[in-house]
Every structure is written in structure tokens, then in C-alpha cells.
Structure 1
Amino acid sequence: MTTASDDQKLASWRAFLLTYNTIMRRMEQEMQDEQDLPLTWYDILAHLDSAHRGALRMQELAESVLLSRSGLTRLVDRMERAGLVERHPCEEDRRGTYAVITNRGEETLFQAMPGHINSINQHFLQYLDVFDAQALLRVLTKVLEGERPAEGSQAEVIEGDQ
């Protein structure tokens, strides 16, 4: 038997999932319609662009964009064929490979960025006031720190991605 508190927590979970899935589907469709670019490609380009020298090791990039190594490899293969990224060998570790954003990748990212920011505002931020944003950040950080304790403070990770 669940309590009213448990019911409220489960309702919060369902609302979180529904909200996330609804927003991500809309943003994915908008990015595809407006830029002919999958949202995951945008995410990869943004991570590479913000990295030192526009490059990340494939393993690090996979962790950053929440993909398996094999899933990322397939995406980077397609992005490389599209001229958006290149692979460079890692000089320190011959087994390692860097994904590097190309000039075309930077141009694509910067062309898509205003629409992406608009989508975030339209589908999410417009519904939050400063107090809602603070409360949401506090709750999500608490969950991340509970689920990823070995990685230290998630607040720094989250706030650093702004």
C-alpha cells in the first residue's frame, strides 16, 4: 500500500518523464525541420566546440552525450561523412582517438544555435520563474549527487554547462 506521499512522488516521476519526452520530441523535430540536423548531432557538436581545441577523446565524448561507445562511433561515422567532425589519433595513447569539430561543424553549430536556444526557451524556460528554476536545479542536483556520488559535486557540472 502506498501513502499519499509515495503517490505524490510517483506522480512527480511520471510528470518528469512525460515532460522530458514531450519536450525532447518537439525539439528534435524542430531541429530536424529547421536545420536538417539531428538533435544528437547538435549535442555532439556543442560538446566538441566547448572542449579545448574542439576535440574530445571518443570515450569522454560518449560519457558527455550519454551514449554507448558503439552508439557514438556510429554517429561520429555519419558526422564524419557529412564533414562535421574528423577523427585524429591520440598521440599519448595509440589506442585512443579524438573526435574533432571541423570548420563546417562549427558553421553548422552556430547556424543551429539560435533556433535551439529559442526551442529551450519556448518549450521549457518560459514556464519557470527564478524560484522555480532554483527549486528544480536543487532537486535535480540532489538526484544526480545521489546517483553519481563518486563524481563529486554535480552542481558544478550542471552550472558549468550553461
Structure 2
Amino acid sequence: MLMPTYLPEQLLSSQSVGGNIADIMTTASDDQKLASWRAFLLTYNTIMRRMEQEMQDEQDLPLTWYDILAHLDSAHRGALRMQELAESVLLSRSGLTRLVDRMERAGLVERHPCEEDRRGTYAVITNRGEETLFQAMPGHINSINQHFLQYLDVFDAQALLRVLTKVLVGERPAEEPQAELIEGDQ
């Protein structure tokens, strides 16, 4: 899903926030913060569009399918409850259900009933799904390097990780575990 890369003036108007743009954007610091927001969104949209196109062209595989296969492959026994998978890949349950339907028809995943809770269902990666994932993985890693990592030195990576972790910690509900936000040395 693409995100907007700008904030229209009407969103910042006195009708929507109780002031005018001059009242809201009063310092150079505020300008820099808004510019960083726009740069974040533009960068994300640009990179994801390119990576999606490359995955489709090279593997005939939507990037969201790759993401689901990667989450399932890294899970215990290659299986996740549908609700847990939806949260992991940032999709609604209904959106994931439709996606898993298509992936199941392609032979990449199967659904298995949950033994502990008859209402629950597991999505399970198949052998064909594993083969598809491992075939696509080198190209995906190359895309990450080509479109993102090559531009960062170790200091940039540390700063970016620090900032994004700070935002995630600030925005996560208190009841969610904070230690599992981002893996990596900080």
C-alpha cells in the first residue's frame, strides 16, 4: 500500500487543527521534522514500488506473497495462526484470508485446523512454497542491498535504527512486548 507523500494544506488549515500553518510551523526545527516525514514516505514508496516490480518481473511473485512465505518459513513448523500472520504482515484478517486463498490455489500454503481452538486455522507453508521462497530470496536480498543498504554506512544504519525504534516504542500500545520491535544490535 502506498502512503501519501505530502500533507495537503487543507489538513493543516485552521478548520482541521485549530490554527493556521504559520502557527503550526513556527521554527526551522518543525520544517526539518516535516521534511523528514515527507522524505521517509517518499523513500518508502519509491523503494517498495521498485522491489515489488522486480519480484514480479523476476519471480512472477507478488512481494506480499514473498513476505507471507518468509514469515511462515521462519515460524515453528512453518505454521502460524491466521490472526498472528495477519498481524505479522500488517494485513487485515479479511485481506489475509483472500491472499491465502490465492496462495493456496497456487500450492504455496495450506490451511490446517487448530487443534487447541476449533475456531482457529493455521496457514502452513508447503514444500512448493519453500522452494518458491528460496528461489526468490537471492533476488530479494539483492534488491534490499541495491535500493537501500548501499546508501547507508554503519553510522547511518545505527542512527536510522535508533530513530525508527524510538518511534515504534512511542507508538506501540503498552501491553505489546517492546523487546521484539526490531532485531539487531543497537
The TM-score, its normalising length taken from structure 2, stands at: 0.83
Contact kept? 1:141, 1:155, Cα under 8 Å: no
How far apart, in 2, do the equivalents of 1:57 and 1:133 lie?
33
Q: Which has the higher contact order (CA 8 A, sep 6+)?
A: 1
Flag the structure with larger Rg. Answer: 2
Deviations 1:54-92 (A, max 9, x none): 000000000000000000000000000000000000000
**2:161 alignment counterpart:** 137
Q: Could you tell me how far 1:156 is from its partner in structure 2?
A: 3.5
How far apart, in 2, do the equivalents of 1:151 and 1:23 lie?
32
Contact kept? 1:27, 1:119, Cα under 8 Å: yes
Contact kept? 2:83, 2:93, Cα under 8 Å: yes
Which structure shows the bigger proportion of residues in helix conformation? 1
Where does structure 1 differ by over 6 angstroms across 4 or more consecutive aligned residues? none
Aligned partner of residue 26 in structure 2, secondary structure: coil
Q: Could you tell me how far 1:158 is from its partner in structure 2?
A: 1.4
Deviations 1:98-130 (A, max 9, x none): 000000000000000000000000000000000
Contact kept? 2:112, 2:123, Cα under 8 Å: yes
Q: Using a 3 Å threshold, how does the CA distance of structure 1 residues 17 and 85 change in structure 2: closer, same or farther?
A: same
Contact kept? 1:48, 1:55, Cα under 8 Å: yes
Deviations 1:108-160 (A, max 9, x none): 00000000000000000000000000000000000000000425564543116
Q: Using a 3 Å threshold, how does the CA distance of structure 1 residues 135 and 152 change in structure 2: closer, same or farther?
A: farther
Q: Using a 3 Å threshold, how does the CA distance of structure 1 residues 63 and 49 change in structure 2: closer, same or farther?
A: same
The TM-score, its normalising length taken from structure 1, stands at: 0.95
Contact kept? 1:145, 1:154, Cα under 8 Å: yes
Aligned partner of residue 181 in structure 2, secondary structure: helix
Contact kept? 1:88, 1:100, Cα under 8 Å: yes
Deviations 1:12-60 (A, max 9, x none): 0000000000000000000000000000000000000000000000000
RMSD: 1.8
Q: Which runs of 5+ in 1 are unaligned?
A: none
- Would you say how many aligned residue pairs link Structure 1 and Structure 2? 162
How far apart, in 2, do the equivalents of 1:161 and 1:108 lie?
30
